[in-house]
């Protein structure tokens, strides 16, 4: 079976996502499944005979979280800016090593992937989960230019992860 690619950007980094509605549940019976591009965020349907066994029933995320080590500054009007570490990231959110914010809080993030790369600004992120030493954030508002740069960072992580899996899998 040929490898699936996103019809918009051509990326091979696509993931089966959850089915929305009756039509998609019916289509799955003939091996047509919904997919989400991990880079451009396009959602599309495609025929794929292996998807039934690859669905993420245990993980409802539409985007793969990738292990990362990215510096991020949290900008919250209630407190001084904090610099923390992102431990995993996707086009949709991240896990941030920090505490002190409550579930449902809205913050602004500034990511600094490397010294050479320009900062990526997440205009609005929401705290979706709080753990003892970290919190899960969902990106809600990202300007297109910053979305593009975030996509480049994610692409680099995906390529590194797939080469690692290819040489160790």
**16 token code pair:** 């089966």
Structure confidence at residue 59 as a pLDDT band (50, 70, 90): low
pLDDT at 117: 79
Count helices and strands (H / E) in the chain: 3, 9
Between these two residues, 19 and 115, which has the higher pLDDT value?
Answer: 19
pLDDT at 106: 93
Q: What are the backbone angles phi and psi of residue 148, rounded to the nearest 5°?
A: -65, -45
* Contact predicate 42/6, CB 8 Å: yes
- Of residues 147, 155, 80, the one with CA closest to residue 120: 147
Q: What structural domains does the chain harbor?
A: 1-60 (no CATH), 66-163 (2.40.10.220)
SS3 151: helix
Helix (H), strand (E) at residue 52: helix 51-54
Residue written as tokens 């409550």?
102
Q: How far apart are CA 31 and CA 58, in angstroms?
A: 20
Q: What is the pTM of this model?
A: 0.75
Tens digits of per-residue pLDDT, 152-161?
Answer: 999 999 888 7
pLDDT at 107 over 70: yes
Cβ neighbour number for residue 64 with a 10 Å cutoff: 20
pLDDT at 168: 46
């Amino acid at each position: 079976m040929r490898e699936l690619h996103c019809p918009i950007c051509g990326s091979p980094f696509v993931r089966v996502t959850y089915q929305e509605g009756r039509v998609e549940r019916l289509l799955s019976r003939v091996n047509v499944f919904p997919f989400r591009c991990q880079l451009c965020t396009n959602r599309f349907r495609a025929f794929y005979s292996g998807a039934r066994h690859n669905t993420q029933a245990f993980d409802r995320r539409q985007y793969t979280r990738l292990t990362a080590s990215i510096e991020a500054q949290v900008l919250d009007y209630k407190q001084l800016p904090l610099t923390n570490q992102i431990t995993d990231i996707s086009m949709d959110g991240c896990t941030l090593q920090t505490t002190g914010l409550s579930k449902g809080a809205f913050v602004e993030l500034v990511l600094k992937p490397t010294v050479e790369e320009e900062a990526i600004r997440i205009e609005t992120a929401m705290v979706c989960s709080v753990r003892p030493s970290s919190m899960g954030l969902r990106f809600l508002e990202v300007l297109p230019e910053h979305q593009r740069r975030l996509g480049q960072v994610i692409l680099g992580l995906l390529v590194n992860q797939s080469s690692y899996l290819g040489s160790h899998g």
